[in-house]
Every structure is written in structure tokens, then in C-alpha cells.
Amino acid sequence: MITLLQIIAEAAMSEGYSVRTSELHGLSQRGGSVEVHVRFGRKIYSPLISQGKADLVLGLEMQESLRGIYVANPTTKFLVNKFIIPIPLKKPLSENEVLVGLKKISKDVNLIPAADICREKLGADVVSGIYLLSLAVFKKIIPLKPSSILSAIKKIIPEKYLELNLKTFNLART
Amino acid sequence: MNKAGKKVILLGNEAIVRGALEEGVDFVSTYPGTPASEIGDVFFKLSQDKNYRGYFEFSTNEKVALEAGIGASFSGLKTLVAMKNFGLNVCLDSLLPFVYTGTKGPTVIVVADDPSCHSSAQSEENSRFIAYAAHIPVLEPSDPQECKDFLRLGFRISERYKIPVIVRTTTRVAHQKMPVILGQMPKLGSRKGRFIKDVKSFVTLPPRVLEMKKELLEKIEKIKEFSEKQSVNLLIGKPSRQKLGIIASGISYLYVMEALKELNLSLPVLKLGFFYPLPEEKIKKFVKTLKKVLIVEELEPYLEKEVERLAKNTNPKLQIFGKNLVPEIGELKPEYVIQAMAKITGKFYNLQPETYDLAIKRFPQLCPGCPYWLVISAIKKAVDVKNVIFGGEIGCYMLFGNPPVNLQDYLSCMGSSVGIAHGIKKSTGQKIIAFVGDSSFFHAGIPALINTVFNKSNPLIIILNNRTTAMTGHQPHPAAQSEPNGINIEAVVRACGVKYVKTINQINQEEFVNTVKDFLKKPEVSVIIATNPCVFVAKK
């Protein structure tokens, strides 16, 4: 997730935007929920998105995407990985429950089977986040050039994983 | 990458490292703690390169880290010490006299607070108190660029006034990223310090110590004058018709600027880069012509009280707003500041209602394959958990307090599980198992263990030796990753006078279960050292 932030931030900087991100490390990474923010534009001050002010919520897990409601408004777009990580001793929410929850606030909710697509076509679902990010750029949901995102991926992803990530990027184009 | 003038996206903590390198830092010591950990991580990585000119160490705790830094400073080296807020408490005993003696090599201490306790148990600490307790200058950056700039300013103040300087960050500053303009890296060879005897400067023996206090207070007066002229205490905007002004620092300043934009307001803002000593004349001048002032700060109202004090003579009718409009508990969020400013200016701000009813609670968990799961299962097999008290501590194993594990009846600071267990034992005689991590044991557990022997109590202490400081990102510690050269924990425990000690790999469940049962009956303190390594160490 922090990698996704870094890619967006690099791409935004390369296009001359003011950009800030906020992330969390440590305890919050131990299987807890991780929420990271990125903002770019002409002049950005706060690294945190204000309540109800997000343009896009990228959810890498369905249940977690409900946390995005806090920063959402009716025009906020949700791109959510159709993927569930169960919580110990709890019955996972159904796809429908998640949809109903998100639709209460947003008119633009999209569940994308990114994990399935990546597993099927690339043999790895760890790149689901890169897939969703690339999709968002190709669909012009994130107003950055695909070429900027591509350069950022090349700059940030370690050599070892670069090929897989480039394949993911190209998969999202089609 | 290293070219001056280039813009690079850096994390606040990375920018701190960069600032120290641009200053030509010689000596760096730290104990890992989020949200300051990356400072040590980056220096650790740099120091692995044999061409790195400086010295870096992970010390056993923050007090020792600071003391190492004091030694380096006394020897004339440019020194950086980094820690999280609780580390400041640990090193207070050494810090106060250091401000009295002052520095020889310029010294900056980075202290990272964590409002909202994102990565902290124990308390929501506001480290600003240290300014008053120690008379130490405190600078508060708002973002990564300022992290770098303020760090350099800290070194300049330290060099000029021979005093250590604190740069205080918070999670949203330390873990914020933005493009940072790089400065020039100095071309320096490795530098060896030299301790030159100077009893008058370095020995705090009375009656000299009171003279030192006088000299310190005089320094602070001079730094106050200096701070009046510094552009880090910045006046932004022009007087408004409503005669309302805002004072803010750190991350709060960014939220204020965001709020002004959001509400389309134009108000004067005094941004304070110095928390201590405050540029009092600048503040007085700022509030003199105002009717109302809003102070935006996280946690306790330190600035608000200072402004109240300063306004008393300058502008007694001034209406001061602060904690009546923004919360004292938890970090600030931009929308809190927008709401506060809307309220004070009579603007309407429609906040999106928070519909959160479906969101689910996800507790942090031990990693899959974590060796601690085996300790948990052994304990649940060995004892009736209702009849045993479980002492918790700071590290991955504090997650024992979360469901479904639920093996934690108290939790305080590092090293405390053993000390508190002793007190409970002495007071009640109830059965008690205290967990302590390997890094934690070296950090502050050893004196408490010796105390159980010295004052004769019999808790069972389980030292979880997973061979790394796992929670903060797998930093090394005295018994970790360097075996067989690492310090042998069992030998330390025995040397403390403990007779009942067993080192067991918890994979051997039966032996572990039987030892727990057996040791709980012992009339003296007993220790089990569980040796299965962290999954991330095992992978290496």
C-alpha cells in the first residue's frame, strides 16, 4: 500500500503537482487496518484528506473499503478489490453487505475482481493493488498520465519484482 | 540522487537523516520506536557500507543512546540521537544534566510523538513538557522539507549556544511524504573526536551545578532573542477586518492553511517553528491588535497557556480560543480545524455525516507463523488462565491482549512487566506470569529481574527471545542476529542470581508446558527463555 502511495506521489511530482502523503507504520501494520492518504494538486497543505473530501477510495479488501466511507461523499468513486481477508472468529461480510454499505454514501461503487484476474493471468494476487491503480489511471479516474505512472513503477519497484508489475500494468490497459 | 537542488520525495524521517548528513553528522545513536524508527533504519543501512564516514549504533535503550551521544558531543563530534516519545522519559535522567553542561560537539535530539497512539500503547504523550523541565530548545517542523531544514537549524543553534536542541515531530510529520529540495553534502573525511579535560564544563557537582543553571537560563534568554529573528517563526497573511488571527505549529499549521483554503478565508497566521523558547515579542506584536485569536495545537494546550500569559498585559481584552474548539485527546484532523474556524468566523461548513455502521473492527494480530503462537498454546495447555495473572509489555507480544488470545492483565512500559509482577507477588502471592521480549529485557528488564532476586519474590518470567526487535521493523539487539557472538540471555539471567532457568524452543510443546507447570510452584523467581526466532529472522 505504501508502494502505491509512492508511485502516485512520484508520478504527480513528475507532472509538476504539489503532493503530500500520509502513511502509518509499526503496530498498525500487524494485520490491523492500514489507511494511507495521498493528495496532489496546485497547492497542497494537509497530508490527510478531510472527512468527506476524497475523490477516489482504492480498497484492497472489501470489508476494509467500508472504512473509506469516512472520507467519501456522493461523488466519491470507490474501486474495490473483490477480495476478503477474514477476521478471526468473525463471519466475513458478504459482497452484497459491502455494496449496500458503500452505496449508502457513494453513487459510484465498483467492485473489481482484481485478485482473481491477477491470480489467473499472472499467477499472483499480491499485485492487485498495482492492477487497481493502473486501471484507475487508464480509466482517467486518477488525472495522471499512464506514462508517468509507468516511469514511477520503474523507479520504485525493485528489479526483482519489476517484470511482474509491468505485466500487471499492461494487463490493466486491456 | 545526491545532487543539491534536486527534488526527491522523502518521508519526514528520511528528511531528518538527509538533514543530518548535509550537516556532516559524525555520531548517531538510537533505540528503535515508531514513529521515529526509520531514522535508525536508514543510518543502519548507510553504516553497513564501509565507506560511510560516520558512526552509528542501535543502543540498548534510549538512556544509553543519549549517554553515548553525550560522550560523543563531549569529545567534539557532531551528534544526533533519535527516539520516540517514551524514550525521552527513559533518558530524562541523563538529559537534564546534559542541558546544564551543554554540548561541545553540536547535538540534536529527535523526539517523535504519536498523538492518537497509532503505534504506541501506554499513554498519549506530549513531549513538549520537556522544554520546561529541562530548559532545552524545542523546534517543531510541519513537513519533511521542514524536518530537514529544522534539523540543520537545530545543529546551528547547538553550535552557536553550546546546548542540545530537540526537534519534535509527530506521526503525521514523521510519516508524511513530499518532494524535498536537497542541499549540498559536505565533503568530509572520517573524524575522530578528542575528549579534552574540562572539569568546569562537564562535571555537575555542587555548588558548580547551580552556576550552570544560571548559565543555562542566560543561554535561553539569548536563544529567545535569536528566535525573534528567525524566519521559522513566520507571519503569513495580512490583518483581517474581523481582527481574528491564528497561531499554530507543527502539523496543525498545515491543517490551518487547508482550512483557510476550504473556507475561502484570508486571516493572518503566526506559524511557530520554535516551541521553546517562544518568540514572545513576535507573539505579543501579533496579538496586540487582534480581538480574537485561535490557537491550533494537538494534545495539551501548552501554546494556549503561553499566549494567555503573554496577552495579559499586551491585550487583556483578547478573546482566546483553543481547546474549547479543538479536542485535547487524539490527533487533530483537517476537518476539526475547518469546523473550529467555521464556528469562530460564523461560516457554514457542511460536514459529510459519518456513516460507519457496517465497518468492522480488525485487531492487529501476531503474524501467521509467529513463534509466539506456540508460547500461547503451551500456556493455555499448562494453566487455567483464570487463575493466573499475565503481565504484558511493549513489543509484538502486547498483542496477547487482543482477542482471541486474551493473555494480558496489565500493560505498561518497556521492562515493566517484571517490576510490576514483583509488586503483585509481594502484595498478593497470586500466581503470575510476566512476558518480556528480548530487546525489552536488555532495555529495562534486567534491573527488575535483579530486584525479584534481591527482594525475594517468585513470579514466572518468560523471555521471548525471537532474536530481533520485531515490532519496530526488525532491528538488531544485543542477543540478536550475531550469535554465537551475541550476549547469552540465560547466562545473564543466571548471573542475576536466578536458580530456576530453562532455555526452550517452544516447538517442544510438552517440555514447555511441563516447565511452566513446574516453575509456577517454585518458591523463587523462575525464568523460561523461549528461543524460536521471528518468522522474518528465520527467513533470512
Position with higher pLDDT, B539 vs B74: B74
Of A20, A46, A64, the CB nearest to B177: A20
Assign domain B234-345 to a CATH class.
Answer: alpha beta
How much is the pLDDT for B540?
Answer: 60
Percentage, residues of chain B above pLDDT 90: 88
Q: Chain B within 8 Å of A24 (Cβ-Cβ)?
A: yes
A contacts of B179 (beta carbons < 8 Å): 13, 19
Residue B482 has pLDDT above 60, yes or no: no
Split at pLDDT 50, 70, 90, the class of B3 is: confident
Spatial separation of the C-alpha atoms in residues B447 and A128, rounded to whole Å: 49
Mean pLDDT of all residues in chain A?
Answer: 92
Q: Chain A within 8 Å of B234 (Cβ-Cβ)?
A: no
Residue B57 has pLDDT above 70, yes or no: yes
- Which class for A101: exposed (0-12), middle (13-18), buried (19 or more C-beta within 10 A)? buried
> What is the arithmetic mean of pLDDT over B151-156?
98
- Which class for B3: exposed (0-12), middle (13-18), buried (19 or more C-beta within 10 A)? exposed
Q: Chain B within 8 Å of A155 (Cβ-Cβ)?
A: no
B contacts of A32 (beta carbons < 8 Å): 362-365
- Yes or no: say if A78 and B286 are a contact pair by the CB < 8 Å rule: no
- Going by C-alpha positions, the residue among A122, A110, A109 that lies closest to residue A169 is A122
Q: A50 and B338: CB-CB below 8 Å?
A: yes
Q: Chain B within 8 Å of A123 (Cβ-Cβ)?
A: no
Alpha carbons within 13 angstroms on the beta-carbon side of residue B321 total 18
- Tens-digit pLDDT profile for residues B360-387: 677 788 888 899 999 999 999 999 999 9
Q: Chain B within 8 Å of A75 (Cβ-Cβ)?
A: no
| The total number of residues written for chain A in this structure | 174
How much is the pLDDT for A30?
Answer: 66
Residue B13 has pLDDT above 70, yes or no: yes
Q: Chain B within 8 Å of A11 (Cβ-Cβ)?
A: no
Split at pLDDT 50, 70, 90, the class of A74 is: very high
Judged by average pLDDT, the poorest of A49-58, B197-206, B322-331, B397-406 is: B397-406
Q: Chain B within 8 Å of A63 (Cβ-Cβ)?
A: yes
Split at pLDDT 50, 70, 90, the class of B106 is: very high
Split at pLDDT 50, 70, 90, the class of B2 is: low
Question: Residue A21 carries which side chain, given as an amino acid letter?
Answer: T
How much is the pLDDT for B264?
Answer: 95
B257: nearest CA partner in chain A? A45
How much is the pLDDT for B357?
Answer: 60
Q: How many other CB atoms sit within 10 Å of the CB of residue B417?
A: 34
Q: Give the CATH number of domain B7-228.
A: 3.40.50.970
Judged by average pLDDT, the poorest of A18-32, A45-59, B269-283, B418-432 is: A18-32
For chain A, the C-alpha Rg in angstroms (whole number) is 16
- Tens-digit pLDDT profile for residues A127-172: 999 999 999 999 999 999 999 999 999 999 999 999 999 999 999 9
Q: B119 and A25: CB-CB below 8 Å?
A: yes
> What is the arithmetic mean of pLDDT over B391-417?
94
Q: B333 and A48: CB-CB below 8 Å?
A: yes
In B49-158 the beta strands, taken as DSSP E runs, fall at 55-58, 79-84, 107-113, 138-139
How much is the pLDDT for B484?
Answer: 60
B contacts of A41 (beta carbons < 8 Å): none
Mean pLDDT of all residues in chain B?
Answer: 95
Domains B7-228 and B372-539 equal at CATH topology level: yes
Of B176, B351, B358, the CB nearest to A101: B358
Would you list the DSSP string of A5-29?
HHHHHHHHHHTT-EEEEE---GGGG
In chain B, domain spans: 7-228, 234-345, 372-539
Instruction: Give the 3-state secondary structure of B182-236.
Output: CCCCCCCCCCCCCCCCCHHHHCCCCCHHHHHHHHHHHHHHHHHHHHHCCCCCEEE
Spatial separation of the C-alpha atoms in residues B101 and B110, rounded to whole Å: 19
- Find which of B38, B85, B175 to mutate to test the A interface (most A CBs within 10 Å of its CB): B175
Of B351, B355, B365, the CB nearest to A30: B365
Q: A30 and B472: CB-CB below 8 Å?
A: no
Spatial separation of the C-alpha atoms in residues A34 and B527, rounded to whole Å: 36
- Going by C-alpha positions, the residue among B247, B359, B352, B357 that lies closest to residue B292 is B247
Q: How many other CB atoms sit within 10 Å of the CB of residue B478?
A: 18
How much is the pLDDT for A31?
Answer: 65
CB pairs under 8 A between A and B: 149
Distance (Å) from the C-alpha of residue A64 to the closest C-alpha of chain B?
A: 7
How much is the pLDDT for B356?
Answer: 59
Neighbouring residues of A38: CB distance < 8 A, sequence distance ≥ 6: A5, A8, A9, A12, A19, A20, A21
Q: Where are the alpha helices (DSSP H) in B315-371?
A: 334-345
How much is the pLDDT for B349?
Answer: 86
Split at pLDDT 50, 70, 90, the class of A89 is: confident
Fold exhibited by the domain B372-539 = Rossmann fold (3.40.50)
- Find which of B358, B396, B471 to mutate to test the A interface (most A CBs within 10 Å of its CB): B358
Residue A27 has pLDDT above 70, yes or no: no
Place of cell 458503500: A102
What is the set of domains in chain A, with CATH numbers? Answer: 2-173 (3.40.920.10)
Neighbouring residues of B256: CB distance < 8 A, sequence distance ≥ 6: B246, B248, B269, B296, B337, B341
Split at pLDDT 50, 70, 90, the class of B352 is: low
Residue A90 has pLDDT above 90, yes or no: no
Neighbouring residues of A150: CB distance < 8 A, sequence distance ≥ 6: A166, A169
A37: nearest CA partner in chain B? B176
Percentage, residues of chain A above pLDDT 90: 82
Q: Chain B within 8 Å of A70 (Cβ-Cβ)?
A: yes
- Tens-digit pLDDT profile for residues B418-470: 999 999 999 999 999 999 999 999 999 999 999 999 999 999 999 999 988 98
How much is the pLDDT for A137?
Answer: 97
Neighbouring residues of B241: CB distance < 8 A, sequence distance ≥ 6: none
Q: Any idea of the CA torsion for B39, B191, B46, B25, to the nearest 10 degrees?
A: 30
Q: B9 and A63: CB-CB below 8 Å?
A: no
SS3 state of residue B245: strand
- Yes or no: say if B82 and B27 are a contact pair by the CB < 8 Å rule: no
Q: Which three cell numbers stand for residue A169?
A: 500494468
Q: Chain A within 8 Å of B335 (Cβ-Cβ)?
A: yes
Q: A20 and B143: CB-CB below 8 Å?
A: yes
Q: A72 and B257: CB-CB below 8 Å?
A: no
Q: Chain B within 8 Å of A19 (Cβ-Cβ)?
A: yes
Split at pLDDT 50, 70, 90, the class of A28 is: low
How much is the pLDDT for B191?
Answer: 84
> What is the arithmetic mean of pLDDT over B287-306?
98
Question: Residue B59 carries which side chain, given as an amino acid letter?
Answer: S
Percentage, residues of chain B above pLDDT 70: 97
Distance (Å) from the C-alpha of residue B18 to the closest C-alpha of chain A?
A: 18
Q: Chain B within 8 Å of A15 (Cβ-Cβ)?
A: no
Q: Any idea of the CA torsion for B149, B16, A5, A1, to the nearest 10 degrees?
A: -160
SS3 state of residue B27: strand
Q: B175 and A23: CB-CB below 8 Å?
A: yes
In B427-521 the beta strands, taken as DSSP E runs, fall at 432-437, 460-464, 500-504
Task: Identify the DSSP state of A114.
Answer: H
Residue A91 has pLDDT above 90, yes or no: no
Q: A69 and B473: CB-CB below 8 Å?
A: no
Residue B355 has pLDDT above 80, yes or no: no
| Complex confidence, ipTM | 0.95
Distance (Å) from the C-alpha of residue B170 to the closest C-alpha of chain A?
A: 12
